[in-house]
A and B are shown apart, each in its own frame.
Chain A
Amino acid sequence: MKYQTPSTSKEAAVLIQGERGQAFVLAGGTDLMVRMKGRFVEPDLLVDIKQIPAMQSIKKLATGFRIGAAVSAAEMGENTSLKKTWPGVVESANLIGSDQIQNRCTIAGNLCNASPAADAVPALIAAGAKVNVVGPQRRRTVAVEKVITGPGTTSLRKGEVVEAITLPKRPPKSGDAYLRFTPRSEMDIAVVGAGVSLTLDSNLVIKSARVALGAVAPTPLLVPAAAQAIVGTKLNKAALNLLAQACCAACNPIDDKRGTIEFRTEVAGVLAQRAAKMAYQRARGK
């Protein structure tokens, strides 16, 4: 197995495209190394992206935040400005694994690993995050919800590497939240996850919203009907009921040892309601 540490994103993309065998990006390695040990993958080339300056930092730009693909979840939690603006996104990233995992794992890796239950992904979808992708020939930007195409599969083409994930500029009176259900409080995989991001007008009426669900379908879901249920309201009981109904209707989960289809479907509605209330309180500045 070859191991390379390129210093630019383009170089990483060219290395991967030029590899005849199996090539993988190594960021935190918390998923990839486990898959390698289980011999689920046998890479011929690993491209370690942690020495690429464009991927190493969190930047606050005029257009919003830019989180480099090699930034660990722990570093996101330590960034007070990011945490203040996007508490739901940061909390979702900080729910992944133990401190040992937090110090290595990345949200770009969480996305590209493409688990239906990835914690960071519903929060990123709700936030309207975009992915900066670098290929050997060109760059492109894609919405987070367009990346995962099924369990373990993405729309990225060979040689395409995620350089950063960007979060849009935040209008005043905005808030987001991510909640998940797990039997244990730590070190567990989401049975259901729900992310909500919303912006209020001066009368505290919801002006715009995005709602996303995890672990209830082959891919994390953006649920526009759920957002429509709460836009134009102050999140009264009727709006919350419609929100839950829309979330339950969007679910297409599996039965497994963590939860049944019925349980996941019902909990999706409950968690979305709670996440919406939390996001609303945050938007009000509480």
Chain B
Amino acid sequence: MMAGTLVSTMINGDATEFVCQTGETLLEVLRNRLGLTGSKEGCGTGDCGACSVTLDGRLVCSCLVLGVEAQGREVGTVEGLADGDSLHPLQSNFIKHAALQCGICTPGFLIASKALLDRNSNPTDEEIRFALAGNLCRCTGYDKIVRAVRATATELRKK
């Protein structure tokens, strides 16, 4: 076993330490070392967005971030969206609007949608589509996803 690098980070608000090889991506660390398998590998080249997470609050493709780069930084994954047993409004609305079929792209869409709503509480459909342009879905045709995000924005503004 090769020695690795010790990395201290915050993941979904919890202080987390892991050891990884320098060549490992953050996505590999999340899935293979930390058991956080919500983030998916689609393309592995930053085109599909299935691996989307936030790094210090900014949306990134975790397949294009090294695990060692997470040192001292905050990572947000789909596992951190729900509050215990109660789903995040985005998650509820994705189910309600059938904004998924196979589900592989869904964690990435949820994280990207949350990043959008965190900075824009009332996005137009066009803004939603541009914000989600880095996430590919081959099942839904995107319309249901846009509706789910729009419904969530309306719901969150009422709160």
Q: Which residue numbers of A lie inside 8 Å of B, CB to CB?
A: 1-3, 5, 26, 29-30, 33-34, 36-38, 46, 48, 50, 72, 74, 97-101, 103-104, 186-187
Contacts and interface: CB of A to CB of B under 8 A. Distances in A.
B65 A46 contact: no
Contacts of A1: 21-23
Nearest to A72: B58
A98 B22 contact: no
Contacts of B52: 100
A74 B63 CA distance: 19
B66 interface: yes
Interface in B35-68: 44-47, 49, 52, 55, 58-61, 63-66, 68
A101 B61 contact: yes
6 contacts: A3-B5, A29-B69, A46-B66, A98-B46, A99-B59, A101-B134
Contact of B45 (A2, A34, A74): A34
Q: Which of A37, A38, A97, A99 has the most CB of B within 10 A?
A: A99
Tell me which of B47, B55, B61, B68 has the highest count of chain A C-beta atoms within 10 A of its own C-beta.
B61
Contacts of A36: 23
Nearest to B22: A3
Contacts of B135: 98
Contacts of B152: none
A97 B22 contact: no
Interface residues of B, number: 31
Given A98-B49, A99-B112, A48 B22 contact: no
Interface of B: 5, 21-23, 25, 44-47, 49, 52, 55, 58-61, 63-66, 68-69, 71, 112, 115-116, 130-131, 133-135
Contacts of A50: 69
A46 B134 CA distance: 26
A3 B134 CA distance: 28
B80 to A, nearest CB: 17
A100 B66 contact: no
Contacts of B5: 3
B115 A99 contact: yes
B38 to A, nearest CB: 16
Given A37-B45, A100-B49, A100-B134, A3 B59 contact: no
Contacts of A29: 64-66, 69
A226 B83 CA distance: 59
A54 B56 CA distance: 20
Contact of A100 (B21, B112, B130): B112
A38 B135 CA distance: 21
A100 B22 contact: no
A186 B25 contact: no
B85 to A, nearest CB: 29
A97 B46 contact: yes
A3 to B, nearest CB: 4
Contacts of B25: 33
Nearest to B55: A103
A36 B65 CA distance: 12
Contacts of B21: 1
A98 B58 CA distance: 12
Given A1-B23, A30-B46, A34-B45, A104 B134 contact: no
A101 B130 contact: no
A50 B60 CA distance: 15
A197 B74 CA distance: 40
A100 B61 contact: yes
B44 A37 contact: yes
Nearest to B65: A29
Contacts of A34: 45-46, 64
A186 B65 CA distance: 22
A254 to B, nearest CB: 23
B134 A187 contact: yes
B64 A104 contact: yes
Contacts of A101: 46, 61, 134
Contact of B133 (A72, A74, A103, A187): A187
A99 B46 CA distance: 11
